[in-house]
Amino acid sequence: MPAWLTEISLRIKALFRRRRLDRELEEEMAFHLAMLEEANRALGADPEEARHAAGRRFGNVTRMKEVCREMWSFTLVEGLWRDLRYGARTLGKNPGFTVTAVLAIALGIGVNTGIFSVLNGVALKLLPVPRAQQIVSVDQMFHGKFSRNVHGESGLFSYSEYKNYRENNHVFSGLLAYAPFLEATLGGESPKQLMGAETSCNFFDVLGERPALGRVFVEADCSAPGASPVVVLSDNLWRSRFAAEPQMVGKSVSLNRAKFVVIGVAAPGFAGLDPWPSEFWAPLTMQKALEPDSDLLSENNTGWLALLGRMRGRVSLEEVRADLGVIAGRLDQQYPGRTTTLAIRRATFLGRQEEQTVVFGIGAVVLAAVGLVLLIACANVANLLLARASSRQKEIAIRLSIGGSRWRIIRQLLTESLLIAFLGGTLGSLVAFWSIEGVARFVLAHLPHDVPRLVWNVSPDLHVWGYSLALTALTGIVFGLAPALHATRQDLSTAIKSDGGRFMGKAASGGMLRSILVGVQVAVCLVLLIAAGLLMRGLYLAQTVDPGFEMKGITQARFDLPSQGYNEEHARVFQRELMARVAALPGVDAVEQARVTPLSHDFLGTGLTLTGETQERQFEFNVVSPGFFTILEMPMVRGREFTREETQSDAGVLVVTESTARELWPAQDAIGKTLRDGSKKEFQVVGVVKDSQASRLGQTGGLFFYMPAGPKEQDRLQLLVHSKGGDIATAKGIRESARALDPDLIVDVTRLEDNLEFWRTPSRIVAALSGVLGALALLLSSIGVYGVVSYGVSQRTREIGIRMTLGADGGDVMWLLLRQAMRPVLIGAAFGVAGCAAVSQILSKVLYGIGSHDPIAFVGVPVFLLGIALLASYIPARRATKVDPVVALRYE
Amino acid sequence: MEKQGELVQGTLDMLVLKALARGAKHGYGVAEWIHESSNDVLHVEEGALYPALHRLELRGLLTAEWGASQNNRRAKFYSLTAAGRKKLAEEAEYWRRMSGAIAHVMQSV
């Protein structure tokens, strides 16, 4: 056994036999003394003298025992235990202080833990499948000059690319692919729109998911395109739609009007690999049956598949990167000028590059905000500790002067602050864990109706526990260190002799540090409050903004004809019939068509070349019927609207927006100018329409054109209906008209104004969050200011008494106290406003409708905060002016 | 000039080990043995002896056992472990070389 091990085992034994060790030491010394005494007697000394001589020679027995005992013990551990007990006793003796401090920390840590567990649930947890640590997601980014079609996100893979990676890699026991953004209509009495996925046939096998009923896909299901119309249903769909029918396997269901045979039901709890739960899974090879308007399997340069692989045993991420990188390099050779980089990471929800960027961007902002709240809480507690340290000045000074080491006392004080931190951290985290699922459910339930239902598993795991533990420890040190250092750096003689420091106007020790802490609190609080103010103002603006076109009285009817098997001819008939029926509804005075309804967060883009130029420019566009501009009250600035004739032929005419005309043809007339598309077809500008925020709320810029809705476009058009009657009656009429024509078609009928929800929701969530955080910050800061002023008053009672005896009146004293209390507040506020100017620059880029120099937020909020601070100082200061000079002089 | 008989720093451990080389002794016995073997020159302070004994025990160089002394009192007897014996040999060798070297230096003119 190595020496150090022997030593530790001996010490551990000693730890449990402390009493016996003491007794043995005692006995050993006694024996030695007795032997000495005996020796002295043998030399002829009388017994009394012999004992004294022995004692003299032996020296300080207690000291020696102390040294030996120290040697046997884990001084650090036992010292810590002593510190803890002492700290707990001290905290117990000051329940007011302890409760305030613990609550402040609990608030700070609780908010942080809650937010982190949401972030963890959204993007850090591994997928809920067996042995999830082996599953990695494969994501690609392209660089250089290349063209590529995108179906969903830009990092997705084409079918041929998938096959290439699957067949040529050496690192996966299986590589699966699935199309993450599939929607399909489930036919039946009342058709229902479902989220689902087209998957490779090894999908369930790679994930290690067993079906609850029937079977999952086998390779034969993916043998040829269109060969195997089979489907696996989710447990949720099976229960909600098919009443958990035990004989479900073998029955057929209709998805986008194609017949699929149910071969199995997935295990409960498995809902796919995205936060929006999948309700069904069909083989990739059935893509054309589910989406009749496209044939993605044969398009080698169209990205539509997400890739996940299960690593073979003992393969590292590095090896996966290297192996797949070789395949990526080979694929790049087919597209000169293109370079692909792969991103390989452990698979989580929202694990693809584009999603990660968004999630971590938002996550960083929110974590920073809650971090600031915690900082305020820390400053608060630090202030309380400072105040308390000065009332413990004497105790500390005595300990220092009888030889206690400074480090020893700092350790003691830090133990106390860590104790507070852990009490607060535990309380805050428990409340957060207990409430966060409810909060998440509440937020999810209030998302706009056309955002897919999301599932967040925000329950805490090791990440979250680790995070809150680390945060708690850090917090304890952050708020404890400065006061501890400060308390132990004092002039011993003055501290012990008297309370001299309290007498003069210079204020008690730590005044400077306390002022700085108050200033920091005010500054941080102001940043949060102004940010909250800006967001709320932004929300208000968003709700009252004029998007530049009329939404009132307009109902939109949206449907997807191509996915339901309509060809151009069928679509033309359907549109004509439907428009005729809707136009005949009572109160309806206009029915128009558009490929994209305004603010519907669908965007169309294409490239056009100006005549006389060679470089293609990217445009956003919409395809509309002639009355589109009239119904939305979008005035023409120059030229004309489209004519009926132009929509019946395939006329090459365009209407551009005002800012487009200005950008492309500055100081020229846009009318008559021509552009060409990729197929060299020429278009002539016939009108210029006033700018409006028809595509993105809050934005008018960007190149944008409208083209007439010709006969070839009929399968993709939506309806815009203007009615003078009630919205509800019109909506009902539209639904009934559509059902009469095609009972299986899902038609989404809403008010056009409802589209605003999508744009306002982020602002609303952020405004609510920042409002809550701002309120917390305000509460904590005002407690901080109040605490500091009232402490100052209590410390200076005698001084105030003397001033008043010498003739100062209440007003003078009040003025003196307020002036001193407000100085750090004002300095802090100045820093806060400056800091906020920076923050608002960032916010204005991220969120809609935030002006970075909104005067109401920048003036109103600081004034409000100063008012609160003034009130928080006024209350204790008033108490001071009521002091009876005689009582004050006798004080202490 | 320092007190006569004070031990050179670090040599106490070696002397304690040496004292126990011939068999187990209690603390008093160790002090007496050193005193006598040095012809009454070296004098071990009790305040240093016991911390040294406990330190050596903790390091696994000594083991301790309670037994009866000559006059039938209960006493703690220390004896060398194998590691202690090895340590003693090393220390003795080192001391022999050092003292030889110092003597050589002091005798040179």
pLDDT band at A94 (very low <50, low <70, confident <90, very high): confident
Segment A856-875, tens digit of pLDDT: 778 888 888 888 888 888 88
Beta-bridged to residue A307, according to DSSP, are A138, A177
Contact B54 A64 (CB under 8 A): no
Q: Which has the higher per-residue pLDDT, A450 or A423?
A: A423
- Which token pair is A18? 């402390």
Closest CA to A198 of A563, A612, A597: A563
- Which token pair is A850? 């935030």
What's the confidence (pLDDT) of residue A234? 95
Contact B46 A64 (CB under 8 A): yes
pLDDT band at A171 (very low <50, low <70, confident <90, very high): very high
Question: Cβ(A349)–Cβ(A125) under 8 Å?
Answer: yes
Residue A806, CB half-sphere, CA atoms under 13 Å: how many?
Answer: 8
Distance between CA atoms of residues A375 and A475, nearest Å: 8
Q: Is the pLDDT of residue A65 over 80?
A: no
Question: Cβ(A158)–Cβ(A371) under 8 Å?
Answer: no
What's the confidence (pLDDT) of residue A889? 67
Beta-bridged to residue A281, according to DSSP, are A197, A232
Angle formed by the axes of helices A511-544 and A810-846, nearest 10°: 50
pLDDT band at A500 (very low <50, low <70, confident <90, very high): very low
Contact B59 A29 (CB under 8 A): no
The residue of A1, A4, A6, A37 whose CB has the most chain B CBs within 10 angstroms, and thus the best one to mutate to test that interface, is A6
Question: Which residue's structure tokens are 């790679």?
Answer: A206
What's the confidence (pLDDT) of residue B4? 47
Q: Is the pLDDT of residue A14 over 80?
A: no
Contact B73 A72 (CB under 8 A): no
Q: Is the pLDDT of residue A46 over 50?
A: yes
Q: Is the pLDDT of residue A447 over 80?
A: no
- Residues of chain A with Cβ-Cβ distance to B71 below 8 Å are 38
pLDDT band at A39 (very low <50, low <70, confident <90, very high): confident
Distance between CA atoms of residues B77 and A100, nearest Å: 58
Residues listed for chain B: 109
Q: CB contact, 8 Å: A72 with chain B? A: yes
Distance between CA atoms of residues A88 and A419, nearest Å: 8
- Which token pair is A651? 């006329």
Q: Is A386 helix (H, G, I), strand (E, B) or coil?
A: helix
Q: Is the pLDDT of residue B108 over 70?
A: yes
A188: DSSP letter: S
What's the confidence (pLDDT) of residue A891? 55
pLDDT band at A493 (very low <50, low <70, confident <90, very high): low
Chain B residue with the nearest C-alpha to that of A30: B75
What's the confidence (pLDDT) of residue A4? 72
Distance between CA atoms of residues A393 and A455, nearest Å: 55
Average pLDDT estimate for A308-315 = 93
Q: In A474-603, which ranges are E strands? A: 554-558, 588-594
CA dihedral A622, A623, A627, A633 (to 10 degrees): 0
pLDDT band at A492 (very low <50, low <70, confident <90, very high): low
Contact A11 B58 (CB under 8 A): yes
Q: Is A385 helix (H, G, I), strand (E, B) or coil?
A: helix
Chain A residue with the nearest C-alpha to that of B58: A7
What's the confidence (pLDDT) of residue A865? 84
Average pLDDT estimate for A797-808 = 81
- Residues of chain A with Cβ-Cβ distance to B67 below 8 Å are none
Distance between CA atoms of residues A294 and A179, nearest Å: 14
Contact B50 A27 (CB under 8 A): no
Question: Cβ(A738)–Cβ(A577) under 8 Å?
Answer: no
Query: Phi-psi category of A710—alpha, beta or left, where left has phi over 0 and alpha has psi -120 to 50?
Result: beta
pLDDT band at A761 (very low <50, low <70, confident <90, very high): confident
Q: Is the pLDDT of residue A849 over 70?
A: no
Contact A68 B83 (CB under 8 A): no
Rounded to the nearest 5°, which phi and psi values hold at A614? -110, -25
Distance between CA atoms of residues A302 and A335, nearest Å: 13
pLDDT band at A158 (very low <50, low <70, confident <90, very high): very high
Shortest Cα–Cα distance, A15 to chain B (Å): 13
How many other C-beta atoms are found inside a 10 Å radius of the C-beta of residue A471? 21
Contact B71 A71 (CB under 8 A): no
- Which token pair is A759? 């744009």
pTM of the complete model: 0.73
- Which token pair is A804? 């008043």
> Lowest-confidence range among A194-208, A386-400, A577-591?
A386-400
Q: Which has the higher per-residue pLDDT, A451 or A101?
A: A101
Q: Is the pLDDT of residue A473 over 80?
A: yes
- Residues of chain B with Cβ-Cβ distance to A15 below 8 Å are none
Average pLDDT estimate for A809-814 = 82
Highest mean pLDDT among A245-254, A450-459, A800-809, A813-822: A245-254
Question: Cβ(A788)–Cβ(A383) under 8 Å?
Answer: yes
Distance between CA atoms of residues A137 and A642, nearest Å: 48
Q: Which has the higher per-residue pLDDT, A17 or A652?
A: A652
Contact A7 B59 (CB under 8 A): yes
| Pairing label, strands A280-283, A230-233 | antiparallel
Average pLDDT estimate for A682-688 = 94
Shortest Cα–Cα distance, B92 to chain A (Å): 20
Q: CB contact, 8 Å: A584 with chain B? A: no
What's the confidence (pLDDT) of residue A597? 93
Question: Cβ(A687)–Cβ(A564) under 8 Å?
Answer: no
Distance between CA atoms of residues A254 and A258, nearest Å: 5
Q: Is A439 helix (H, G, I), strand (E, B) or coil?
A: helix
> Lowest-confidence range among A74-88, A280-294, A535-549, B32-46?
A535-549
Q: CB contact, 8 Å: A30 with chain B? A: no
A304: DSSP letter: -
Query: Phi-psi category of A420—alpha, beta or left, where left has phi over 0 and alpha has psi -120 to 50?
Result: alpha
A189: DSSP letter: S
- Which token pair is A701? 């810029």
What's the confidence (pLDDT) of residue A215? 95
What's the confidence (pLDDT) of residue A495? 56
Distance between CA atoms of residues A61 and A31, nearest Å: 12
| Pairing label, strands A258-266, A230-233 | parallel
Closest partner residue to B54 (CB to CB) among A57, A60, A68 is A68
Segment A328-359, tens digit of pLDDT: 999 999 888 889 999 999 998 888 888 888 88
| Pairing label, strands A135-144, A338-346 | antiparallel
- Residues of chain B with Cβ-Cβ distance to A74 below 8 Å are none
Averaged pLDDT of chain A: 85
Question: Which residues, including other chains, have CB under 8 Å from residue B72's CB and lie 6 or more apart?
Answer: none
% of chain A residues with pLDDT over 90: 38
- Residues of chain A with Cβ-Cβ distance to B76 below 8 Å are 24, 27-28, 31
pLDDT band at B3 (very low <50, low <70, confident <90, very high): very low
What's the confidence (pLDDT) of residue B8? 62
Q: CB contact, 8 Å: A27 with chain B? A: yes
Q: What string of DSSP letters covers A716-754?
A: G-EEEEEESS-HHHHHHHHHHHHHHH-TT---EEEEGGG
Distance between CA atoms of residues A324 and B60, nearest Å: 57
Q: Is the pLDDT of residue A381 over 80?
A: yes
Cα distances (Å, whole numbers) of residue A585 to A721, A753, B43: 10, 21, 120
Beta-bridged to residue A176, according to DSSP, are A308
How many other C-beta atoms are found inside a 10 Å radius of the C-beta of residue A63? 10
Average pLDDT estimate for A816-828 = 86
- Residues of chain A with Cβ-Cβ distance to B66 below 8 Å are 24
Rounded to the nearest 5°, which phi and psi values hold at A526? -65, -40
Closest partner residue to B60 (CB to CB) among A6, A60, A72 is A6
Question: Which residue's structure tokens are 């744009």?
Answer: A759
What's the confidence (pLDDT) of residue A669? 92
